[in-house]
């Protein structure tokens, strides 16, 4: 069941289109990713979902509510971590949580929430003294304190070191496992591939693809690559004629064949039939990076 419905969304600034006909649904209980290059229209799209921007055209519904005309209803069920936000430098973690909790009629226990997010020992710490990872944890806590059904996380892990980023990924998975629907905006391919159930790829204000991570990867020209050095001369043309081959390159005696899993089996069978060994054999799967490059423009 769709809990977020976006249909034909349009938004322009000073005559320049930022979002140009975007449509997608987010199912209840999933992590839905919005992926794309900087300036693609990702943040404008989610700001329309949050009710922070009024669309120029199209419609947005959050659990059946219009985020603009039914703002109070949407506010009660949707929590948000904005791409750019800050708190007063001297406010402590506990003061921020208590303040935000006071804005809701039935908030969660913010002390328990702080413990869940590893902030208990930082409750008396001022915001300015928190590390980047701790600030991100606090932003998640503030987004969750109102007990939302949906949480929007916009570029949550930008600027974090690899360890802090992976810790944050586990938190996002925990949030979804607790029953909260997650709308995740990111430009990190690994993050989207690891976390998201489905991904909308936005480029230049339009959705260029919408699928599961594996579905997007499967659209690449060669979702699997096999590379090797043949033990004896081999006609490259024979490889190019094998099933599902997308491309064959040959450089300095090493051959790379891009295709599918079926291609890998066909290559190995061809080599075995000719008594040729595949030295330094490597088989690699395509990633979301490969799909992203295939599905976005050259300037992305």
pLDDT digits over 55-90, tens only?
999 999 999 999 999 999 999 999 998 776 789 999
pLDDT for 300 beyond 60 = no
User: Region 44-60: what's the mean pLDDT?
Assistant: 95
User: Model confidence over 200-238: pLDDT tens digits?
Assistant: 999 999 999 999 988 888 777 566 889 999 999 999 899
Model pLDDT, residue 297: 57
Model pLDDT, residue 166: 85
60: phi then psi, degrees, rounded to nearest 5: -135, 135
As a whole-number percent, the residues of the chain with pLDDT over 70 amount to 96
Query: Which domains can be identified in the chain, with CATH numbers?
Result: 2-211 (3.40.50.300), 219-296 (3.30.70)
Tell me how far apart the alpha carbons of residues 65 and 1 are, in angstroms, rounded to a whole number: 15
Q: How confident is the model at residue 46 (pLDDT cuts 50, 70, 90)?
A: very high
Model pLDDT, residue 298: 55
Model pLDDT, residue 177: 92
Count of alpha carbons within 13 Å of 142, Cβ hemisphere only? 22
Strands of 14-169, DSSP E: 16-27, 31-35, 57-62, 78-81, 150-154
Q: How confident is the model at residue 278 (pLDDT cuts 50, 70, 90)?
A: very high
pTM of the shown model: 0.78
């Amino acid at each position: 069941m769709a809990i977020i419905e976006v249909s034909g969304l349009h938004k322009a600034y000073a005559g320049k289109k930022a979002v140009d006909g975007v449509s997608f649904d987010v199912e209840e209980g999933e992590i839905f990713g919005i992926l794309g290059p900087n300036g693609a229209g990702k943040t404008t799209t989610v700001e329309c979902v949050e009710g922070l921007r009024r669309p120029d055209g199209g419609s947005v519904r959050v659990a059946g509510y219009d985020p603009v005309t039914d703002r109070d209803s949407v506010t009660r069920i949707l929590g948000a971590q904005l791409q750019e936000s800050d708190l007063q430098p001297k406010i402590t973690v506990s003061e921020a949580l208590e303040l935000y909790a006071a804005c809701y009629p039935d908030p969660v226990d913010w002390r328990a929430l702080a413990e869940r997010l590893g902030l208990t020992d930082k409750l008396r710490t001022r915001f300015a003294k928190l590390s980047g990872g701790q600030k991100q944890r606090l932003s998640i806590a503030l987004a969750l304190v109102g007990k939302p059904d949906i949480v929007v996380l916009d570029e949550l892990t930008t600027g974090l070191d690899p360890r802090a980023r992976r810790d944050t990924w586990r938190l996002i998975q925990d949030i979804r496992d607790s029953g909260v629907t997650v709308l995740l905006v990111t430009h990190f391919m690994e993050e989207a591939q690891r976390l998201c159930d489905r991904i909308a790829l936005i480029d230049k204000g339009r959705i260029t693809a919408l699928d599961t991570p594996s579905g997007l990867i499967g659209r690449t020209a060669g979702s699997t690559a096999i590379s090797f050095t043949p033990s004896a001369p081999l006609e490259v043309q024979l490889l190019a004629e094998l099933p599902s081959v997308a491309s064959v390159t040959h450089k300095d005696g090493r051959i790379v064949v891009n295709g599918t899993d079926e291609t890998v089996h066909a290559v190995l069978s061809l080599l075995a039939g000719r008594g040729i060994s595949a030295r330094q054999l490597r088989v690699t799967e395509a990633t979301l990076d490969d799909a992203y490059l295939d599905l976005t423009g050259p300037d992305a």
